[in-house]
Chain A
Amino acid sequence: MAKGITAKLLRSSLYTLTNIRTKPSYKKEAAATEELSGYPRVININQPAVPDDTQQPPIFCTNYVSTTKYTLFNFLPIALFEQFNRVANFYFLVAAGLTFTDYAPFDWPSQVVPLALVVGFSLAKELYEDLQRHWQDMTANCQKAAVHVKNGGFETKQWREVCVGDIVKVKKDEFFPADLLLLQSSYEDGMSYVETMNLDGETNLKVKRALQNLSLPAAVDDDKASHFSDFLATIRCENPNSNLYTFTGNLEYNGHIYPLDPAQLLLRDSKLRNTEFVYGVVVFTGNDTKVMQNTTQSPSKRSEIELQMDKIIYLLFGLLIFISIVSASGFGLAVRNTIRSWWYLVPEIPGEDFDINNFVASGLRHLVTALMLYGYLVPISLYVSIEAVKILQARFINNDLHLYDEVTGVPANARTSNLNEQLGQVDTILSDKTGTLTCNQMDFLKCSIAGCPYGKRPSEVELAAAKQMAAQDESSDGSLSDSSSLEAITVTDDGNINKKASSIKGFSFQDDRLEHTNWLKEPNSDVILLFFRILAVCHSAIPEISEKTGELTYEAESPDEGAFLVAAREFGFQFIKRTQNSVVVKERLKKDQEPVEKEYSILTLLDFTSKRKRMSVILRDESGQLLMFCKGADTIIFDRLASNGKTYLEATTKNLNDYGEAGLRTLALAYKKLEEKEYSDWHEKFHNAQISSGSNREELLEELSDEMERGLTLVGATAVEDKLQNGVPECIDRLALAGLKIWVLTGDKMETAINIGFSCSLLRQGMKQLCIVVSAEMLAEAAKDVVKENILSQITTSMQSIQNKKEPHAAFALIIDGKTLTYALEDDMKFKFLNLAVNCASVICCRVSPKQKALVVRLVKEGTGRTTLGIGDGANDVGMIKEADIGIGISGVEGMQAVMASDFSIAQFRFLERLLIVHGHWCYKRISKMICYFFYKNITLALTLFYFEAETGFSGQMHYDDWYMLLYNVFLTSCPVLALGVLEKDICAEFCLQFPALYQQGPKNLFFDWYRIIGWLANGVYASFVIYLVNIRIFSPESFRKEGQTADMYVIGTAMFTSIIWVVNVQIFLVSHYLTSVQLHTIWGSIVVWYLIVYIYGLMPVQWSAGNIYQQLPEVLGPAYKFYLSTVFVTILCNLPYLIHISYQRCYNPEDHHVLQEMKNMKKDVTDRKMWKREQVKATQETEIGLSARVDARMRMKGKTTRKYSSLAYSSS
């Protein structure tokens, strides 16, 4: 890694040429100071470049960030090196070099020109891609930051000019240009809020605190900060590292030394929120920043097919070497035995080709010649053709209107084009959660108050499931007429969209019984009132009035809380103000009456932690009554209810189950009335515990809270929809039906993750959840071995429960958290863990760090050997995206890091379906067909050379003109195969989507397996054999035309080459399933162009051409009937076995796409809809996740709930 950084540094300084200061010498300096302070990195604030008197100034890297692969100067050498690193290209380079020697069986252009074209094209592509990266870097590097210059003045500089030691001012909603040490914020106490979404994907705000006791003058928001003009301090801290959550060091100021911790560090790529401005000093810049340290070098990804193609190329190299050796030994033997009697060669004079006195040397010499001659076995233009095809395929992806998001206006973007076909072979999808599956927005959807469920709008999961049910209903009994039910569903859809557009963010509740103060008429209105109050009071959010609209928005720690507050506001309980110890709520308690402001004084706030899973507020209302409001996870709350507080328990539990089934996330609300005495006693204890400094302080507090939060009375429960992105459940369903496994890796809490699992149908009721968790106590106390043993035993028991499953339909879900994962990913355990995970229908990893995400991906990739796809949207997903075989970035709201690291970017998760099932499938088939055909056509050509050479005493003579060979690969046969690679379609997009099983052809690699490849190679061998023998036999030795002349070598060569052109073009015609005018034009065009070339080339004055085929077509071959007869005969005979093969295959062993093509052709999709639907259902993989699985389970369990669901679908319209 360190080496990489140095290299990068060197490069970046070369690149800009602007920053002379940059020298990668901080390591030297580091070693010197390490002994002095214990911290290797010394930063002098406000004097970025002033030299120390004793040693060289500490020099750090600039803030310039470069992700480009090349620089201006190393582009050519590195890019060329990479090109010739490919075996095939290197071989051709050597061969091209040798064409200038006497070894060559042909003139130099026939090797050099194709190579130059091929390499030139690849270089141009590399250059283009790197330039794009460069522009992206430039936009990042040229962002503006306010940097302190002198006397408190600030100057706007570009990010790349920011140096270590600079004091920087960052305003609200700006990104930090580098890793900063927080000095001061607009708040007096030095607090500031940051959003680290780009780093860890978490959306809640994090609090950062400036150093206390620095006693800086109060900060004013103007352009001057004069107190910094003479602020001289020294920071000593750790060296740059990738750990986001650690930072140690100290700050020396005015002779005092202040310790530093992560709470003072503001990280690059996070955003200042809720704070007017901050001042910070730059600690790490550029590549030293935490976020950059977390970026791993993106490995160059190559698709499975390309790797396999390499093997074929090695195979062909093997064949090449084999026939070259045959040829060389043949030649050697001829030199030794027979040639000495061939007086017409004057064999006794040793020439550049052979020496009869040294047949071994002659043979070896000839080996070189033969290796060049048969080089046509290895298709030189294969790589470049594939690249061209992939670029065009990528443009199809970019231009697909179905992958275009109308809302954000973002089209799909294939950022690297070399993985297109890999999209068709994906086995496991590893997905981020926030921003990828969800929109990261909570919607208050339903609630249960006093055991009575409110909220009529169905959740998206319910809707989707209802649709599914309706569809299945329709296919199982035909009583429902197709059109009407389909219409009903479409109407549902449209209705929804309209409503969504008009609704309030965070609030999708719809029930007249509660809205518009109607709740007053409900039977339990007092409980409802309490419910709303809890919502409005029990939280830790801050209201914020937007300057533009005057509207209230809430800055909440979690989006749920925000949704509750919005809901409370809509119900008439508007939270407007929070002071140090009170909360002000505007309550509308009567219809047609102005809301009244009520102030609740908050006595104690017991915070929410993931361990407690609840929060409570103790308050005194205006009547002086002491109350405790509590909200928390249902199980936690239910455990703490008073015996008389369980009135609604049963009904609420039932509602909660329904909500869970609907994929909603739920919290239970409860309250308790407190006596003055009771509270004051407790508070005293609590206060004492708070100010105590003993080691057991936390425990004590915990115990006391627990004591207080008991004996609650249940009020109700809320159901919030973590808004999934459009179409996510359906997309997951379809992907699951196509046989893909989906894992969710999220930085979120376990509960949230599980909730999302439910809402996107990865989890469902009745699925057995296997949670592998190690308690925090254990982690803290027990030795590593013990912890590992514990995890191992959990894994083993889980595994056993899977193996011993009794029901056939029992599905398992594995849920594991980040800390546990740390152990589970260690070498000795990871395969056990993987084995367990693979056996589970869905896997959810929560609280995982970016690095762990990448590690999990690696584990799956290497452990299963299958193709993995990583999809995410935040900077925290970058590692995963880069590690996966295919990385997909969601170009959503969370910045561009994920997109920049990805191979493909799409606007929404749901587009993944089309990207994989349609584009992936097509690209896979196209590329595999194309490669097979490519090898076929080159073998066909190259082997005819070999046969002919054998007839010339292995002397290395060719019967084709050099130009034929040159044009064959780059011109004569390239267009049809390009057209095939770009446009071929086995079946249309709708069918791909309707029959997800077709996707499995990719992961199973049915179209590029060795069976098929060998078949194609054999076909090539056969074709070459027929072409050679038949032509030779037809044209030799007797006269081939009425005028009595006999054929010379080049006449036979041209006739043979004509046959080859016809054979390979007819072959590609037979291969194609889909012939647009482009294919037809290229196929016929190639044939016509061949005749034209022979004709025109033959007309060229002999001074210009080699003269071998001068006037050949018009004079020699044209008038000969045999020429045409041989072409027709050879063309048919060469393609006959393939034709018979596909005819038989169609007849008795048709593949799925064959049958579907026929159905389409017969319009069965329109005429026999029932069968069509039935087959669609059957064409799905057995799946345990997704909506279909949910529907299945439902049907199994209840049998007849179908009606209810389908009616739901209609009613909501």
Chain B
Amino acid sequence: MKTYYYSLLQPILFLPQITNADMNPVTNGALKSKKTSKKPEYSRFTQQELPAWKPILTPGWVITSFLAIAFLFIPIGLVSLFASERVVEIVYRYDQDCVPEMYRGNVSAYIRNSLTNKTCIGNITVPKKMDPPIFVYYQLDNFYQNHRRYVKSRSDKQLRSAAYESSTKECEPEARFNKSGDPVPIVPCGLIAWSLFNDTYNLIKKDKVLNINKKGIAWKSDTKVKFGSNVYPKNFQSNDLIGGGKLNESIPLSKQEDLIVWMRTAALPTFRKLYGKINTSLEAHDTITVVLENNYNTYSFGGQKKLVLSTTSWIGGKNDFLGIAYLTVGGICLFMALNFILLYVFKPRPLGDPSYLSWNRKAVN
């Protein structure tokens, strides 16, 4: 083992190779003549004679590798597609329907007014049987959670521990609340928390309320470490400008899982976030009544809001792309393999054929 590591280090440090001098006539001669000479030490490394794997793309290798990719990818593609097909997904867009007729002309007045009735009722039909757990998501569109100003505007320290309550430097412009002339820190501060999504969903199946479990939707590392159990919301949404949802000041942040989920900023302007889970199964053709509070303002920037119910399989939610992509590339490789097979059959180039050397080709032309 020692020699193994030595041989690994040797090239990097230009250490002399530990070899039996007798094995090598060159070194042998040198040793005999004089020791003080400037003669370079022989080692396979310094003489660039290290044993090496010299892969050559022979027809065999080419065809084998394309076939191998094809035979690997096509089954994966099929399996993924199958997994995706098994997933049942219901997407219910409600942002337009949930605005009462009278406000359609002035949506922002409706949504900004805390006094208007935001409750909205809709129906969705289950296309296929859905086995629990069924995940409830909300999907927003054209919402740039990934905007730099937005992403930066949070204080991880403050979220983590009550000791850092006043570390709100990064949270501008939603850092402090001017409490009678004395700026006090907002907990949780920053734009992300401030714009917390606050639509609520209630699902009713045949007059029976489906229980949406909102626990266990956040990552463990978030609830355990990144959001402190001794950090309680303070001065939240107290400024004149109210963004999104409010928080219960008696519940520590680590328990406010919808906030935690929201705080993990999405990569793209169209994103889905977990709202809760349903642990009962839904039969095909069930009609479910959705009673929702349409509080969140996506109207001013023209974003859509969708409610999504979805099961999962091992590849997660419904996603045909993966399967199709695998199948396509597998297909291409199969095609390439056949192509090369045909080429080698009908127009072979013998390996190491000297007539392909440039000087010989020049002579032909």
Q: Which residues on A are within 8 Å of B, measured CB to CB?
A: 105, 338, 341-346, 349, 351, 353-354, 395-396, 398-401, 404, 406, 409-411, 922, 948, 951-953, 955-957, 959, 983, 985, 989, 997, 1030, 1032-1049, 1051-1053, 1073-1081, 1102, 1106-1107, 1110-1111, 1115-1116, 1120-1122, 1125-1126, 1129, 1132-1133, 1136, 1139-1140, 1142-1143, 1146-1148, 1150-1152, 1154-1159, 1161-1162, 1164, 1171, 1174-1175, 1178-1179
Contact = CB atoms under 8 A, between A and B. Distances in A.
A400 B46 CA distance: 7
B300 A343 contact: yes
29 contacts: A105-B148, A342-B147, A344-B143, A345-B191, A346-B191, A351-B173, A353-B149, A354-B149, A396-B48, A399-B41, A401-B39, A401-B42, A404-B39, A952-B147, A955-B149, A957-B148, A983-B50, A1034-B325, A1037-B271, A1044-B135, A1046-B137, A1075-B53, A1077-B7, A1102-B226, A1125-B322, A1125-B326, A1136-B329, A1146-B62, A1178-B360
Contacts of A1150: 349, 356
Interface stretch (B97-105, B230-238, B308-316): B308-316
Interface in B216-255: 217, 219-221, 225-226, 241, 243-244
B277 interface: yes
A1049 B326 contact: no
B158 interface: no
Interface in B112-157: 133, 135, 137, 139, 143-151, 156
Given A345-B150, A959-B267, A1049-B267, A1038 B52 contact: no
Contacts of A404: 39-40
B51 interface: yes
B264 interface: yes
Nearest to B173: A349
B1 interface: no
Given A346-B173, A1036-B270, A1040-B317, 15 more contacts: A400-B40, A951-B268, A952-B148, A956-B148, A957-B146, A1041-B316, A1049-B266, A1077-B51, A1111-B221, A1125-B80, A1132-B73, A1146-B62, A1158-B352, A1175-B354, A1175-B359
B343 to A, nearest CB: 6
A1049 B47 CA distance: 49
Nearest to A1178: B359
Interface residues of B, number: 109
A1116 B219 CA distance: 8
B144 A953 contact: yes
A370 to B, nearest CB: 11
B264 A1038 contact: no
Q: Which of B48, B300, B343 has the most CB of A within 10 A?
A: B48
B329 A1129 contact: yes
B57 interface: yes
Contacts of B272: 1037-1039, 1046
A381 B73 CA distance: 36
A344 B191 contact: yes
A989 B40 contact: no
Contact of B225 (A1076, A1078, A1102): A1102
A401 B42 CA distance: 7
A1179 B357 contact: yes
Contact of A1171 (B37, B51, B354): B354
Contact of B325 (A957, A1079, A1129, A1171): A1129
Contacts of A1111: 219-221, 225
A399 B11 contact: no
Contacts of B322: 1034, 1122, 1125-1126, 1129
B54 A1073 contact: yes
B141 to A, nearest CB: 9
A584 B93 CA distance: 123
B364 interface: no
A1156 B353 CA distance: 9
Contact of B76 (A349, A1080, A1125): A1125
Nearest to A1109: B221
B65 interface: yes
Interface stretch (B179-187, B280-288, B332-340): B332-340
Contacts, number: 299
A1151 B361 CA distance: 11
Contact of B267 (A343, A398, A1052, A1074): A1052
Interface string B28-64: 0000000001111110001110111111111100100
Contacts of A1121: 314-315
Interface of B: 7-8, 11-12, 14, 26, 37-42, 46-48, 50-59, 62, 65, 69, 73, 76, 80, 89, 133, 135, 137, 139, 143-151, 156, 160, 172-174, 191, 194-195, 217, 219-221, 225-226, 241, 243-244, 264-274, 277, 297, 300-302, 310, 312-319, 321-322, 325-326, 329, 332-333, 336, 340, 343-344, 347, 349, 351-354, 356-360
Contacts of B65: 1139
Q: Which of B40, B58, B217 has the most CB of A within 10 A?
A: B40
A1078 B11 contact: yes
Given A983-B48, A1075-B54, A1155 B353 contact: yes
B318 A1155 contact: no
A1155 B57 CA distance: 11
A349 B174 CA distance: 10
Contacts of B53: 1075-1076, 1080
Contact of B160 (A1076, A1077, A1102): A1102
Given A951-B146, A1171-B354, A1074 B8 contact: no
A1116 B143 CA distance: 24
B301 A1075 contact: no
B59 A1042 contact: no
Nearest to A1150: B356
A1053 B265 CA distance: 12
B316 A1120 contact: yes
B173 A399 contact: no
A1129 B332 CA distance: 13
A1178 B269 CA distance: 64
A1045 B219 contact: yes
A1036 B139 CA distance: 11
Contacts of B57: 1142-1143, 1146
Contacts of A985: 48, 52
Nearest to B34: A409
Q: Which of B143, B156, B220, B359 has the most CB of A within 10 A?
A: B359
B190 to A, nearest CB: 11
A346 B267 contact: no
Given A956-B148, A1077-B8, A1155 B301 contact: no
A404 B41 CA distance: 11
B243 A343 contact: yes
Given A342-B147, A1147-B349, A1125 B315 contact: yes
Contacts of A1081: 8
Given A399-B40, A411-B38, A1046-B274, A1034 B267 contact: no
Nearest to A1126: B322
A1190 to B, nearest CB: 21
Contact of A1039 (B55, B316, B356): B316
Contact of B58 (A354, A406, A1115, A1158): A1158
Contacts of A1161: 54, 56, 351-352
A993 to B, nearest CB: 14
Given A349-B173, A1148-B349, A957 B321 contact: no
A1044 B56 CA distance: 45
Contacts of B62: 1143, 1146-1147
B310 A1049 contact: no
Contacts of B243: 343-344
B106 to A, nearest CB: 15
Given A351-B172, A1034-B321, A1053-B267, A1164 B219 contact: no
